[in-house]
Amino acid sequence: MANPFRHAIVIGGSSGIGEELVKQLAASGYKVAAVGRNEAKLREIATPYAGTVITFKHDVREYDKVPALFQEITKQLGGLDLFIYSSGVMPDVEMDEYDFDKDRAILETNLLGAVAWLDQAAIRFDKTGAGTIVGIGSVAGDRGRGGMPAYCTSKAALATYLESLRNRLSTKGVKVVTIKPGPTATPMTVNSKFKNMMPADKAAALILQKSKSGGEHYLALPHRVIFFVLRNVPSFIFRRMRI
Amino acid sequence: MPGPLPADSIRRLTGFGMSVSADGYVYKPANVAEIGAVFKLARENKRKVVLRGAARSYGDASIGAECLILDLCGLSKVRVFDPVSGVLEAEPGITLEQIWNQTLPEGWFLPVVSGTMRTSLGGALAMNIHGKNNFQRGTLGEHVLEIDLMLPSGEIRKLRPNDELFYAAISGAGLLGVITRIRLQMKKVSAGTVKVEAVSCRNWGEQFAAFARFEGKAEYVVSWIDCFAHGDSAGRGILHAAWHDENDPSSLQLSAQTLPDKIMGFFPKSSVWKVFRLLNNRFGVRILNAAKQAQGRVMEHGKVIHQSLAAFNFLLDYVPGWEKSYLPGGLIQCQYFVPFDKAPAVFKRLVEMQQEAKLESYLAVMKRHRPDKFLFTHAVDGFSLALDFKVTASNRAALWELARRMNDYALENGGRFYFAKDSTLTAEQAALFLGRSLKKFKEYKKLYDPEGILTSGLAERLKLV
C-alpha cells in the first residue's frame, strides 16, 4: 500500500529544534508544513525549499482554530505521514517566583496546544491506519524540579498524554514517539546556564532517526543512564540534590 | 477558511491492486438528494470529489488525495425489472452479482460481465467494461437504454444512445457526473450453464490460430498465457471458448450457480490465498505455470465440459481474496489493446521485454475485441493482453520503468489502454492514446463541470482534468 510521497507537519517549525526538523525533512524529500508564530522566520526557512516547504502562521494557544487549520494543511500537503509537535516555551523562572501568567503560558503552549494538535493527528491516523506522531518532550519532565515547576509539569503531562495515545493507536498501525531531549542549543535556552548543550541540528537528526520506532527515546546514551537513575531516586533524596 | 469536515470520515483508500493509496473524506449517500449535498459541501470547502463504487478498478481511478470520496455503494437497489422484456432499471451502487442473482432465475443474464462479479454497475459503466464476449457483444455501455447523469451542479440529465453526452458519460471514468439511474437491456438465456471447450496452445502461433478457429462462432473466448515460457514455447497457454447451453431451466436457479467454497472437497477456499502467497514469487509462479500448462495439455485439451455461468465468467471470484496474496506491495495490471494485424508481433515482444527485465507477469490473459464509439474507448478490432505484476518495495521503480517502455511500445503500434486497469500511463502517453478524444473531453468538462469538481488519482496523473 505504499504511497511514494511523504508528507509531514512540524508544529513549532519557526525556531529551535522544529526549524531544524523542517529543514532536514525537506532535504530528505518530504513535503513539509512548517507551522509557527514567527511569519518572517517561516518565510526565511521555506525560501530555499520552494514548493517543498509550505508555511502557516499560527499560535498554538488558538485551540479553536486547530481542527480547520489541520485540515487545510493536510489538504495543501496532499496527505500526512508524519506529525511532529515541537512547540515549547521555557521562560526564566526564579526559585521563589510564582507567576501565574508565566505558568499559564507554559502550560498552554507546551501542553494544551499539544493536546489540541495531537488529537487531530490521532483522529486522522486512527482512521487511516497509518502514520507517525512525534512529541518533543524533555528530560525535565522526568522529575518535578524546584527550578521550573510549570515546565516540568508540562513535559511530564505531555509524555503521559503521548503514552496514552500510544496505547490507543499502536494496534492500529500508528507509531507514537516521545522524544526527551536534554539541554539543546536553541533560542529557548539562549539565556540558560546549561553547559555542553547539544546543537539543534544534531538533536533534529537524532529525533528523525529515533522516530522510526515507537516509544520513548532519549537522544544520548548518558541521558538514558542518568535519567534512569534520577527517575528512581527517592523523593527525600531528590529534594536535596538541587538540580 | 471554511469549517472543518468531520475529521473521523477520513480513510486511507486503495484500488483493487492495493499498490497505491490516498486519504480521503468518505461520504456514503443513501439517496440521490444526498449526492447533491456532497457536491455542495465540496464547493463550500473548495474540495474536489472522487466517485467510488465497489473499488474494483486496479489503480487510482476511485481514490484521490484529500478529496471527498463519494461512495455510491449505498445506492444499490433494483428499481424495476421486467421479466418479459428483460429491461432492468437500477441504481449505480448495485453490484453485477446482486443484479444477476435477481434476474437469472427469470432467464436473464447480464449481456457483458467483468472477471469479478463484485463490480458496481455505475463503476462498470464509468469504465465501460468488456467481458470475454467483447468481440460478440461489445461493451456494457452498448446495452444501456438510458441513464440519469447528475452533473456537479446538481442538475440531472436524462441521456439515451442518441445523445452525444451519453458516449462520454459512459467511459468517462466518472469525471463528468454521477450516473444515478441506469436502464439496461439484459440478455435472455434459457440455461444457467455454458459449454466450454479447452484448447492447449504450445506457442503464440497456436494461440492466434485457436482464436481464429472460434472467431464469430463462440460466445466467449479467453486464453491464459504463461509469460515465463520462452523460445519456441513463448505464448503457450490454454484457451477456453464457450457457448450458452439451452433449455435447462433448473440450472438458472441460484443453487446451481454457487461457487464451491472448498477445493478438492476439503480445503477451505477462504484460506487459499495464504497458500498462494507462499508461491507468489518468480520461482513459485514459474513452477505453477508449467504445471498448469502440462495439466491443460494432458487433461483439458480438446475436451468439452459444462460450467455454470458464474464459475465460467467470474474466475476472479473463484479464490476469494486472491489479490491479498500480492501483499504487502499489491499488484498492478497492464492491459494492452492492439490492432488485429499487429497483435502477434506486439504480444511476443511485450513478453520478451518482461523476461529481459526479469519482471514477468504472474498472470496473463488474452481476449478478442471489437471497437466501439464511446469517448474513452479502450477497445480495438484486435486483441488484448492483460498482465498482472506483483509490486514490491524493491521492484517498484524497475516495474514502472518496464511499464513505461511497454506502454510506449504499444502506443507506437496503435495500442489502446483501459482506465479500469491502468496504474502506469503518463500524462504524455495518455494524450497520445486519446488524441482528439481528450480535447473533446475537456470541452465537455468545461460545459458540464466548469468548476472542475470531479477528479480522481487517475485523472490527476493523466492530466485529464
Span A220-234, pLDDT tens digits: 999 999 999 999 999
Give A99-145 pLDDT, tens digit per residue: 999 999 999 999 999 999 999 999 999 999 999 999 999 999 999 99
B7·A3 Cβ contact <8 A: no
Cβ–Cβ < 8 Å for A200, A17: yes
Cell of B50: 472522487
CB-nearest to B11 from A4, A67, A127 is: A127
Q: Which residues contact B301 (CB under 8 A, 6 or more apart)?
A: B198, B199, B200
Contact B421, B58 (CB under 8 A): yes
How many angstroms separate the CA atoms of A80 and B225, rounded?
Answer: 41
Is residue A205 less than 8 Å (CB to CB) from chain B? Answer: no
CA–CA min distance B74, chain A (Å): 20
Task: Give me the pLDDT at residue B155, please.
Answer: 98
Residue A65 is classified by DSSP as G
> What does the pLDDT read at residue A3?
45
**Residue B103 phi, psi dihedral angles, 5° rounding:** -100, -25
Q: Do A75 and B47 touch (CB under 8 A)?
A: yes
How do residues A49-100 score in pLDDT, each as one tens digit? 999 999 999 999 999 999 999 999 999 999 999 999 999 999 999 999 999 9
Report residues of chain B scoring pLDDT below 70: 1-2, 263-265
Interface of B with A (CB under 8 A): 1-5, 7-12, 14, 18-23, 47, 65-66, 328-330, 391, 393, 396
Please report the number of interchain residue pairs, chain A to chain B, with beta-carbon separation below 8 angstroms: 62
Please tell me which residue of chain B has the smallest CA distance to A129.
B12
At what angle are helices B272-279 and B282-295 packed, to 10 degrees? 110
In the numeric block, the cell 503500434 is attached to: B413
Residues of A in contact with B65 (CB under 8 A): 78-79
The residue type found at B374 is: F
* d(C-alpha B215, C-alpha B237), whole Å: 18
pTM over 0.90: yes
CB B15 within 8 A of CB B63: yes
Nearest by CB to residue B328, choosing from A1, A78, A126, is: A1
| Interface residue A71 vs chain B (CB under 8 A) | yes
| Amino acid B2: pLDDT | 62
Question: DSSP secondary-structure letter at A182?
Answer: -
Indicate the pLDDT class of residue A194, thresholds 50, 70 and 90: confident
- Indicate the residue of B5, B11, B330 with minimum beta-carbon distance to A71: B5
**Does A67 contact B4 at a Cβ distance shorter than 8 Å?**
yes
How far are the Cα atoms of A239, B87, B148, B158 from residue B166, in angstroms, in the given order? 81, 18, 10, 9
Our measurement of the distance from residue A238's CA atom to the centroid of its chain's CA atoms, rounded to an integer in Å, reads: 27
Question: Which residues in chain B are contacts of A117 at CB distance < 8 A?
Answer: none
Instruction: Reply yes or no on whether the pLDDT at A4 is more than 90.
Output: no
Selected for mutation to probe chain A from B23, B47, B68 (highest A CB count within 10 Å) is B23
Are B182 and B140 within 8 A, CB to CB?
no
Interface predicted TM-score (ipTM) of this complex, two decimals:
0.93
- If contacts are CB pairs under 8 Å, which of residues 72-131 in chain A contact chain B? 72, 74-75, 78-80, 120, 123-124, 126-130
Subunit contact A80:B23, Cβ cutoff 8 A: yes
The verdict on a CB contact (< 8 Å) between B7 and A71 is: yes
Neighbouring residues of B23: CB distance < 8 A, sequence distance ≥ 6 = A74, A79, A80, A124, A128, B10, B11, B12, B13, B65, B66
SS3 track for chain B = CCCCCCHHHEEEEECCCCCCEEEEEEECCCCHHHHHHHHHHHHHHCCCEEEECCCCCCCCCCCCCCCEEEEHHHCCCEEEEECCCCEEEECCCCEHHHHHHHHHHHCEECCCCCCCCCCEHHHHHHCCCCCCCHHHHCCHHHHEEEEEEECCCCCEEEECCCCCCHHHHCCCCCCCCEEEEEEEECEECCECEEEEEEEEECCHHHHHHHHHHHCCCCCEEEEEECCCCCHHHCCCEEEEEEEECCCEHHHHCHHHCCCCCEECCCEEHHHHHHHHHHHCCHHHHHHHHHHHHHHHHHHHCCCEEEEEHHHHHCHHHCCCCHHHHHCCCCEEEEEEEEECCCHHHHHHHHHHHHHHCCCCCCEEEEEEECCCCCCCCCCCCEEEEEEEEECCCCCHHHHHHHHHHHHHHHHHCCCECCCCCCCCCCHHHHHHHHCHHHHHHHHHHHHHCCCCCECCHHHHHCCCC
pLDDT for B129 equals: 98
Interface touch B66/A70, C-beta < 8 Å: no
H or E segment and range at residue A25: helix A16-27
Which chain B positions have a beta carbon within 8 Å of A123's beta carbon? 7-8, 10
Contacts of A75 in chain B (CB under 8 A): 47, 66
Q: Closest Cα of chain B to A124: distance in Å?
A: 6
Nearest to B1 among A1, A72, A130 (CB): A72
pLDDT for B265 equals 67
In this predicted structure, what is the pLDDT of residue B319?
86
Cis peptide before B328 (omega within 30 of 0): yes
Name chain A contacts of B21, Cβ cutoff 8 Å. Answer: 1-3
pLDDT of residue A133: 98
| A63 at B interface, C-beta within 8 A | no
